[in-house]
Chains A and B, each alone.
Chain A
Amino acid sequence: AQSVTQLDSQVPVFEEAPVELRCNYSSSVSVYLFWYVQYPNQGLQLLLKYLSGSTLVKGINGFEAEFNKSQTSFHLRKPSVHISDTAEYFCAVRYNFNKFYFGSGTKLNVKP
């Protein structure tokens, strides 16, 4: 069965510190990978996506992620976080055109 695992349910970090949110997936076939952010009481906003090509993907708000096929990982990083980055982040995997799986989410709490 296909699955997406976000290893950390909560990540506290101080403002201007770097952060990494981890995501691993299980698949023996090619996948497309996504990170979404959800602010309180809102829908999901696309941060970045990996469809093909360079394994280092840059997204909005200074976030980037690296696709590692051998480790089946797609970790999200930001070199310096801001208070406004406080939100819940979801990793998602699309296995074919109609199967989209989300992880359980990581709450990023940026402290001043």
Chain B
Amino acid sequence: ETGVTQSPTHLIKTRGQQVTLRCSSQSGHNTVSWYQQALGQGPQFIFQYYREEENGRGNFPPRFSGLQFPNYSSELNVNALELDDSALYLCASSLRGGGAFQETQYFGPGTRLLVL
């Protein structure tokens, strides 16, 4: 069984730039969720993708967008980067439709983004 992987591991951008983060879901999972974890805080839900469509969104502006591909991998795109976007971005995958015991989220190691 392959776990959740994310790339890149670290990234440095400047304010105003755009960034794309990538996530490969765990084998057999069909749902991907993205979280932002600022330093010293708990993860904050950004959005979730299921069947290649956004399916639930947290309190994040539209410049945070995403994609899910037919193989269930996913991208998180952030436009017009701001200094406060500096954080650890976590991807989690789960299996929707496998019953409650299947819908547990498994997390990747994260991408640490620094905006200067």
Contact = CB atoms under 8 A, between A and B. Distances in A.
Contacts of B44: 102
Nearest to B49: A98
Interface of A is mostly: strand
Contacts of B65: none
B109 A97 contact: no
A36 B41 contact: no
Q: Chain B interface residue count: which class?
A: 20 to 34
A34 B48 contact: no
B38 to A, nearest CB: 11
Interface in A59-112: 90, 94, 97-105
Interface of B: 4, 6, 33, 35, 41-45, 48, 50, 55-56, 90, 92, 96, 100-101, 103-110, 112
